[in-house]
A and B are shown apart, each in its own frame.
Chain A
C-alpha cells in the first residue's frame, strides 16, 4: 500500500481535510466519487411521445443494448415542457413489466389452455381465416340491387393507441378486402 492510497483512507481525509466530522467529502466512497446518472450508460436517446392520453407529451427514450432503460420528459416540448403524469412516467415499465407477454399464444376452439405457435404459422392461419370469413359473408348488392361489394364476415377494433401509419394501412387493406366494420375507441 503506497502513501497515496493511505491518504485516501476516510479517517486520514477526515483528520487532514476540511471535513473533521466526517460528514461530507471525507467519507465519500469510490462509487460516490465516480457517481454518474444511470443514463450515462445509455447507447441511444430517442425522441418519442407518451402513449397514454392525447395531450402528446414529449418523451426521451434512453436505450441500451436494444432495450429501453429509462424514459423521461423532453423539456423542449411546447406542450409538456418535460413533464409527465404518473402513467407517462411509468412508460419504461410499460415495456419492461414482468407481466409483458412477448411470445405468440394460441387457443384452439374449446381448449382450456394456451399453446405456443410460431409467427409464420399464425400469420398463415389468420390470412386463411380472413379470406374464408370474407367469402362466407360476402354481399354483392342489397335487396334493391344497389352495389354493396362488401363482406360482413369479419370486423376490426382498435386504432386509438396505434400510429397514424398503422391506422391508415388497416383501413386501406381491410377496405380493399371489402370490410366495413372497422372501429376504434373513438366510438366509445
Chain B
C-alpha cells in the first residue's frame, strides 16, 4: 500500500478538512445502450476538440478507440457469442463464491421517483444463456484513491479537489508528461506532444479551436460544475442512468446492490470493478458494473499505481537528502576556512 492514502481518505489527506464527501461515478454497463451521449456531452461541456480518425476503427460501433487528452468518455462495444457468455457467467459466479464484498440486497428497493419497485409478474427464473450479446460500456478516468498521475506530477499542476476528483490545473501544467506514464489506466495524455495533435487541428475541411495544446488533459469529474451544485455532463445526459453520479459511498452501495439483483436474476456474469479498496490503486472513485472480465472492455485487470512503493522510496530519498545536506554543510564549513 502506498503511504499516500491515509485512513482519513483522500479528500481529508489533501487538506480539505472533514466536511466534504468524496464524489464518484457508478457506471452500470448492464443498462448502457451505447448511444455515446456521454462522449459528446463531455466534449461539448469541456470544449474538447473532435479527435476521431474519421475512419471505421474495426471495433464494432466504437470509432473513438480509447480515452485520451481529447476524449474523456469512451464507449466500448463488444460482440460475444454464447460460449463466451457462459464463461463470463461462470467467472462471475466464482467471484461471488470467493466472497466478493458487499453482495446482498439492501433492505428496501425503490424506484427513482420513490415509489416501491413493482416486481409483480417479473420473470425471476434463470434466463437462458443467449446465443449472442453486445456489450456496451462507457469508460472514464477512475479518480483513484491513490492516483499515480497526482503523485507523479512534479509541478503541483495536478491536485485533488474537495470532491475527491483529480484535476489538472492548466495554468500550472508545463506539459512535462510525467503523469502520462504514471497512470495505470492510460487515461491522461498530453493534447499535443509534438508528434500527435488532434485530427481536427490539421484538417482541411474545418477549422477547430484547440485550446491548451501542450499540456496534460483528462476528465475533471466536471469539478467546475460540481462547484455550482450541478452533476457532471456525462451523468446528466445519460439516457438510461447507466452513468450515475453521487457520493462515492452510495455509488459503491448501489453498485453492490445492483450486482446482487442481477445475480438473483441469474446474470452471474455481473461483477464490480474499482470498488475494492485493497486493489493496486486503493479503489477508484469511479466504479463500474461489468458483465465480463475487465480485459474484455480494455480495462487492466489488476491496476497498480506506480507510486505504490513510494514509502520506501521516501526513506531512501530522505537518507540521500540527509547525506547531501551533510555534504553541503561540510563544504560550507570547509569554505569558511
Contact = CB atoms under 8 A, between A and B. Distances in A.
**Direct A–B contact present (CB less than 8 angstroms):** yes
Interface of A: 10, 17-19, 21-32, 35-40, 70-73, 75, 82-86, 88-90, 92-93, 97-99
Nearest to B155: A27
30 contacts: A10-B156, A19-B14, A21-B14, A22-B156, A23-B13, A23-B14, A23-B158, A23-B159, A23-B160, A24-B13, A24-B14, A24-B160, A24-B162, A26-B15, A27-B156, A29-B171, A35-B223, A37-B224, A37-B228, A38-B47, A72-B41, A72-B237, A75-B236, A82-B236, A83-B236, A84-B41, A85-B239, A86-B39, A98-B207, A98-B208
Contacts of A40: 228
A35 B4 contact: no
Interface in B36-64: 36-37, 39-41, 44-45, 47
A71 B41 CA distance: 9
The list of the 4 closest CB pairs from A to B, nearest first, reads: A24-B14, A19-B15, A27-B156, A18-B15
A46 B230 CA distance: 18
B169 A31 contact: yes
B16 interface: yes
Contact of A29 (B40, B172, B208): B172
Contact of A73 (B36, B156, B158, B237): B237
Given A72-B45, A85-B35, A93-B44, 7 more contacts: A19-B13, A21-B4, A28-B159, A28-B169, A30-B171, A32-B167, A84-B37
A86 B40 contact: yes
Contacts of A28: 159, 169
Given A18-B15, A24-B16, A37 B225 contact: yes
Residue of B40, B151, B205 with most chain A CB atoms under a 10 A cut-off = B40
B206 A97 contact: yes
Contact of A71 (B44, B162, B169, B170): B44
B238 interface: yes
Contacts of A70: 44-45
Residue of A17, A32, A70, A99 with most chain B CB atoms under a 10 A cut-off = A32
B282 to A, nearest CB: 13
B11 interface: yes
B127 interface: no
Contacts of A23: 4, 13-14, 150-151, 158-160
A98 to B, nearest CB: 4
B14 A86 contact: no
B245 to A, nearest CB: 12
